[in-house]
A and B are shown apart, each in its own frame.
Chain A
Amino acid sequence: GDSVTQMEGPVTLSEEAFLTINCTYTATGYPSLFWYVQYPGEGLQLLLKATKADDKGSNKGFEATYRKETTSFHLEKGSVQVSDSAVYFCALSYNQGGKLIFGQGTELSVKP
């Protein structure tokens, strides 16, 4: 079945460090791919998305490229801040209706 696999957390980084959170997917069709972020005590909010192969989504210094050949959508940021501490979810969607299938989430903690 369709699924999303993320690297396990928690990930702990120092401020201004480089961030990579790996995400790979399995899907029978050609999905759209998303990164959602969940700050403590809040709901999820969209961070970025890509809807076709080779697209790059970007927002707030975060980037991810839709790689069909490796079925991956890794999240990167060049210099993390304490305020980036949150749980990050990779997700896919390809059905009409937009049903989202989530990875297990990766907790990021950034220390000053």
Chain B
Amino acid sequence: DAGVIQSPRHEVTEMGQEVTLRCKPISGHDYLFWYRQTMMRGLELLIYFNNNVPIDDSGMPEDRFSAKMPNASFSTLKIQPSEPRDSAVYFCASSSAGGYTDTQYFGPGTRLTVL
């Protein structure tokens, strides 16, 4: 299996621009998670989906952030407009059943730098 795939791996943009991060989960996994990693806040869950439906978006920092999952094999996280404080590594993860004992499989992450 190819694992969770994320693109791009690195993104540098200027403040005010729109940024779109992409994720392809492991085939057959019904749960998809978006995390953000920063030095100040560590790893935090932004949103997760079950069968393409957003279940908990309480971690999304503000309206500038939006996430979609149009089908079982693709999800996007969009930031519009981007700000320097959005600079972070964004991880996508997926799991097969979403139970609290289940393993989440992480992608390699997208390192976002907003100038």
Q: Chain A contacts of B43 at CB under 8 A?
A: 44, 89, 100, 102, 105
Whether A32 pairs with B91 at a CB distance below 8 angstroms is: no
In the complex the two chains form, is B106's CB within 8 Å of A45's CB? yes
Residues on the A chain within 8 Å of B109, using CB: 42-43
- How many A-B pairs fall under 8 Å by CB? 66
When the two chains form the complex, which single residue of B55, B93, B108 contacts A97, counting CB atoms closer than 8 Å?
B55
Residue-wise, chain A 35-67 has the 8 Å CB interface mask toward B (1 for contact) of 010000111111001010000000000000000
- Is B69 part of the binding interface, using a Cβ–Cβ cutoff of 8 Å? no
Q: How far is the CA of A49 from the CA of B103 in the complex (A)?
A: 9
Instruction: Give complex CA distance A31, B44 in Å.
Output: 18
Cα distance, A31 to B108, chains bound together (Å): 26
How many A residues face the partner with a CB closer than 8 A? 26
Q: Are A105 and B42 in contact (CB-based, < 8 A)?
A: yes
Interface residues of B in 28-72 (CB under 8 A from A): 31, 33, 42-45, 48, 50, 55-56
Q: Which residue of A lies closest to B102 (CB)?
A: A98
Bound-state CA distance A54–B31 (Å) is 28
Cβ of B56 and Cβ of A99 under 8 Å apart? yes
**Contact residues, A58-105 vs B (CB, 8 A):** 89, 93-105
User: Which 10 A-B residue pairs are closest in the complex by CB-CB distance?
Assistant: A43-B106, A102-B43, A44-B106, A51-B101, A93-B100, A43-B108, A32-B101, A104-B42, A94-B100, A46-B103
